[in-house]
Amino acid sequence: MKRTLLALALTLVGAFAAVAQQSNPLPSWSDGPSKRAIISFVEAVTKPGSTDFVPPAERIATFDNDGCLWVEQPIYTQAFFIVDRMKALAPSRPEWKSNTLFSAVIEKGLAGLSGVSEHDLAELVAATHGGMTPADFRALVSDWLATARHPRFNRPFTELVYQPMLEILDYLRANGFKTYIVSGGGVEFVRAYAERVYGIPPEQVIGSRAKVAFETKDGRATLTRQGSIEFIDDKAGKAIAIEHIIGRRPLAAFGNSDGDLEMLQWTTQAGGRRLGMIVHHTDDVREYAYDRESSVGRLARALDQAPKEGWTIVDMKSEWNVVFK
């Protein structure tokens, strides 16, 4: 009886999945090469009996976040957060006045960030992101996201997510994929909104990490974010983190910059049917147009290697019927 019920249930779930799959799954995509590449890939790896068939448990897809799932211009969203945190904390940190970098950011805002080195950025993150529990940090980010607005679009950052990419996330999940974010941004920063906005739970968010200390205070265990960065999840770090944390080679990877090059290589060079996809920002009317010369989200080496590697380049301007959610 149990087995019969289960078999019936699974058959119906399968039937539902098949129906869902057949209806137009990617309405915001024009009928161009990228949409065809995605659908062809998904059909190949999910069709039972196909030589490319992959069991559901092994269907892993990884997505860069900044510039791949949401807007990253004129600068990463987390940089806006840093500026606002610096300003909010400045009155209680008089010692920051004697720090050239910090006072530039406090006085000039984003302009104070232009041309800062990676080392400077790490210092800013350390000064503003530490000294609290991961849960408190996530709550802080969540509160900030509720009111902060993008300077050009005057909308909350969480509305500046790409509708066509949300549809890919949904389409892959409807076909048994587990979708991961693999971001250069802070893991707790992304977790603050990933579940609500992308449907991606905390355990499927991989990102850069602050050092965290465990302490027992009055017999209570606490974790406290420290003022230093332990791991930068970018470039080779993305492939390494995927192996450490997921322990499977992805079937599909989505990126938009040279920071995603190693993740794309690691994914598509694994043998078997794979999908590598690069969102090319070509639409300065609806969003932004940038690649080789951009200081944020530079795309040069990955663009050069794409043809040889068989990666699909998404032309945002012609292939996305809508950009934002």
Interface residues with a copy of itself (CB under 8 A) are 1-2, 5-6, 8-10, 12-13, 15-16, 19-20, 57, 60, 134, 178, 187-188, 191, 201-203, 205, 209, 212, 214, 216, 220-221, 223, 236, 239-240, 243-248, 262, 265-266, 269
Q: Is 163 left (phi over 0), alpha (psi -120 to 50) or beta?
A: alpha
Coil/strand/helix, residue 185: strand
The nearest distance, CB 61 to a copy of itself, in angstroms, is 13
CB nearer to a copy of itself: pick between 67 and 250: 250
CB nearer to a copy of itself: pick between 162 and 266: 266
C-alpha to C-alpha distance for 48 and 143, rounded to whole angstroms: 45
The nearest distance, CB 213 to a copy of itself, in angstroms, is 8
Q: Are 162 and 254 within 8 A, CB to CB?
A: no
In one-letter notation, the amino acid at residue 54 is V
Coil/strand/helix, residue 209: strand
The nearest distance, CB 125 to a copy of itself, in angstroms, is 16
CB nearer to a copy of itself: pick between 140 and 323: 140
Start-end of H helices in 224-322: 236-241, 261-268, 301-309, 316-319
CB nearer to a copy of itself: pick between 26 and 245: 245
Helix, strand, coil distribution of the chain in percent, nearest 5 = 50, 20, 30
The nearest distance, CB 11 to a copy of itself, in angstroms, is 8
The nearest distance, CB 58 to a copy of itself, in angstroms, is 9
Q: Are 14 and 8 within 8 A, CB to CB?
A: no
DSSP secondary-structure letter at 228?
E
End-to-end Cα spacing for the chain: 45
CB nearer to a copy of itself: pick between 60 and 275: 60
CB nearer to a copy of itself: pick between 141 and 239: 239
To 10 degrees, the CA torsion angle through 199, 60, 234, 190? Answer: 10
The nearest distance, CB 48 to a copy of itself, in angstroms, is 19
C-alpha to C-alpha distance for 281 and 42, rounded to whole angstroms: 24
User: Which of these, 72, 187, 76, 74, lies nearest to 129 by C-alpha position?
Assistant: 187
CB nearer to a copy of itself: pick between 122 and 245: 245
CB nearer to a copy of itself: pick between 8 and 139: 8
DSSP secondary-structure letter at 177?
P
The nearest distance, CB 180 to a copy of itself, in angstroms, is 9
Query: What are residue 191's phi and psi, to 5 degrees?
Result: -60, -25
User: Which of these, 65, 72, 63, lies nearest to 294 by C-alpha position?
Assistant: 72
The nearest distance, CB 88 to a copy of itself, in angstroms, is 25
For residue 155, give both structure tokens. Answer: 């909308």
